[in-house]
Chains A and B, each alone.
Chain A
């Protein structure tokens, strides 16, 4: 099952078949999510209209962590089974994760100014997400630091696994330390501490972000495979030119 996708041509075929669907669903989910988030949901009794920032902030926070976890899983697969697509998937996912992390930090700070009265506090949740951003930057820089792309991908895979210690720290930072950032209200064992009128836009936006990630990941992976193929064709053309 898993090695079926090791063939780049087969992967490209599947990706091309999936892409239009995932792109269309992303657009529909974003349209519905933004409609609910901006118009069809109530303002918070304490936070007022600023609560709507949450519909971008929370999904991008989930995706920032999920994307790093995805990279870590791909890194294990790349290091253990030397699966060729895992390297490409991790490389394609890193800039997306960095972008999600930037969105979390910016929207959080925009929400923090009217609500907490400050753009930034050095509490455990905010600091650990900032560290996550630096880990993404290190991963991207390391991937591109070598003349041999294979070597860059493998080094970045080791770094991704070392940096994975940060993910549980982000998740549990609000429980372990007394932070200004509020604890989770959705991912807990009893019923979610959030009203369904606000849960609908939040979940719609979360699925929209997820599908956006899948779509962009497939686009980037396909582009990377095509670039590698172009390089190989150019090389063989140059070789033929010198041989004749």
Chain B
């Protein structure tokens, strides 16, 4: 538990001092979502219908942007080896990294999303559904993304490969996240979708750090 807090603190310090990765991810998120109305037209009837899905798709891509660096910089300068040798278990390291990734990326996406919802003319209930679904869904993106980041450590063309590995695994989150917003726009209850997202989060919390640790072990040895 202390190890986890130390790792999260270290990552946050590094992010605040040097990194612009997180800011870039949010700028990309807003910019990409703003592009869509130019492409599909600005019909105020249509935008709320497609808005939830678009915001979620762009959120997946934005969360993926900063994933590649999750372990790569530590791998390059050797601190990953030191962390591996430290008494903190690898699973804790993986959980801490994912938590820090969520705190630096997921939360910013969560704050930016309601603004985008206004641009897409989403009704008030749908904005609530968007916030709730992203609160439950974005940590899953960080946790599952950690597996991909660990697997592609040291690979040629790691970034493209990471997208190929991780995007198929993000599809369930996308389906239920966008489904909750669609339900809210259409006036249906959104409880079931949020519960499934919560289930994904619990499963990812239990299993993803373990898989990430297995992948890290292959990368270090």
Chain A residues engaging chain B, CB cutoff 8 angstroms: 79, 127, 131, 134-135, 137-138, 141-142, 145-147, 151, 154-155, 158-159, 161-163
25 contacts between A and B (CB under 8 A): A134-B167, A134-B168, A135-B168, A137-B164, A138-B161, A138-B168, A141-B164, A141-B165, A145-B152, A145-B157, A145-B158, A147-B156, A151-B154, A151-B218, A151-B219, A155-B151, A155-B155, A155-B215, A155-B218, A158-B151, A158-B214, A159-B151, A161-B211, A162-B169, A162-B211
Task: Check if B147 is an interface residue, CB within 8 A of chain A.
Answer: yes
Task: Check if B111 is an interface residue, CB within 8 A of chain A.
Answer: no
How far apart are A78's CB and chain B's nearest CB, in angstroms? 10
How far apart are A152's CB and chain B's nearest CB, in angstroms? 8
How far apart are A134's CB and chain B's nearest CB, in angstroms? 4
A137 to B165 alpha-carbon distance, docked (Å): 8
Q: Known A-B contacts: A155-B155, A155-B215. Give 15 more (CB < 8 A).
A: A79-B214, A127-B171, A137-B164, A138-B161, A138-B164, A145-B152, A146-B154, A147-B156, A155-B152, A158-B151, A159-B151, A162-B147, A162-B169, A162-B211, A163-B169
A110 to B97 alpha-carbon distance, docked (Å): 46
Question: In the bound complex, do residue B156 and residue A158 qualify as a contact, i.e. CB atoms below 8 Å apart?
Answer: no
Question: In the bound complex, do residue A146 and residue B167 qualify as a contact, i.e. CB atoms below 8 Å apart?
Answer: no
A154 CB contacts on chain B under 8 angstroms:
218
B151 CB contacts on chain A under 8 angstroms:
142, 155, 158-159
A141-B161, A146-B156 given; A158·B211 CB < 8 A: yes
Question: In the bound complex, do residue A145 and residue B168 qualify as a contact, i.e. CB atoms below 8 Å apart?
Answer: no
A141 to B166 alpha-carbon distance, docked (Å): 13
Interface of B, helix, strand, loop or mixed by DSSP: helix
Chain B residues engaging chain A, CB cutoff 8 angstroms: 147, 151-152, 154-158, 161, 164-165, 167-169, 171, 211, 214-215, 218-219
Count of A-B residue pairs with CB < 8 Å: 56
A134 CB contacts on chain B under 8 angstroms:
164, 167-168
A141 to B148 alpha-carbon distance, docked (Å): 13
B211 CB contacts on chain A under 8 angstroms:
158, 161-162
How far apart are B168's CB and chain A's nearest CB, in angstroms? 4
A154 to B214 alpha-carbon distance, docked (Å): 10
B161 CB contacts on chain A under 8 angstroms:
138, 141-142, 145
The residue on B at minimum CB distance from A153 is: B218
How far apart are B81's CB and chain A's nearest CB, in angstroms? 15
A161 to B214 alpha-carbon distance, docked (Å): 11
A145 to B162 alpha-carbon distance, docked (Å): 11
A235 to B165 alpha-carbon distance, docked (Å): 33
A154 to B168 alpha-carbon distance, docked (Å): 20
The residue on B at minimum CB distance from A148 is: B154
How far apart are B167's CB and chain A's nearest CB, in angstroms? 7
B164 CB contacts on chain A under 8 angstroms:
134, 137-138, 141
A135 to B147 alpha-carbon distance, docked (Å): 14
What are the 8 closest A-B residue pairs judged by CB atoms, nearest first?
A145-B155, A134-B168, A154-B218, A138-B165, A155-B151, A158-B215, A131-B168, A138-B164
How far apart are A176's CB and chain B's nearest CB, in angstroms? 12
**Residue in B147, B151, B152, B211 whose Cβ sees the most chain A Cβ within 10 Å:** B151
The residue on B at minimum CB distance from A130 is: B168
B147 CB contacts on chain A under 8 angstroms:
158-159, 162
A151 to B155 alpha-carbon distance, docked (Å): 9
The residue on B at minimum CB distance from A140 is: B164
A155 CB contacts on chain B under 8 angstroms:
151-152, 155, 215, 218-219
